[in-house]
Amino acid sequence: MPATLLPTIGKIFEKILFQRIDIHIKAINLLHPNQFGFREGDTIEQLVEKIQESKRNKNHTLVVSLDIQGTFDHLQNSSIHNNLDSLDFPSNTTENLKDILRYGEVAMETSQGPFFWPHQQSCAQGSRTGTLLWSLVSNEILS
């Protein structure tokens, strides 16, 4: 997927939506405590410490590390929409975010001129909300 170029106002709007949803997710402790990817303040050092503590306590420990090629390219909008609907969050915020996904458009310059098609799948590469949306969808695996 090509890099996504958003106008400055779009970046600002996306950042505001991200912050509102991120604060809500943290306030209700929505994400599984063992999810370390894309979590502000959670570092690999904290994960290693958690593993070492478990080992010291002679607990069984399992680490699942996923490196999914094209993660953001293959994230289905329907999965994102379902997770946003389950947030119990003011609909104006979630609906705005869903509209960005629903009505997004991809443009590419060709020898015949610009070519446009609907952006129906995935998070825009480099988007502020991409990691948050991936965390919401992948949270189902851990729950």
pLDDT digits over 97-136, tens only?
Answer: 888 887 777 778 889 998 887 776 666 666 778 888 888 8
pLDDT digits (tens, 9 = 90+) for 42-54: 677 888 898 999 9
Question: Where does the chain have alpha helices with state H?
Answer: 8-27, 44-56, 77-85, 91-102, 130-142
Separation CA 9–CA 17 (nearest Å): 12
Separation CA 101–CA 78 (nearest Å): 10
| Cβ neighbourhood burial of 7 (10 Å; 0-12, 13-18, 19+) | exposed
pTM over 0.85? The answer is no
What pLDDT does residue 8 have? 84
Model confidence at 67, in pLDDT bands (50, 70, 90)? confident
Share of the chain above pLDDT 90, in %: 12
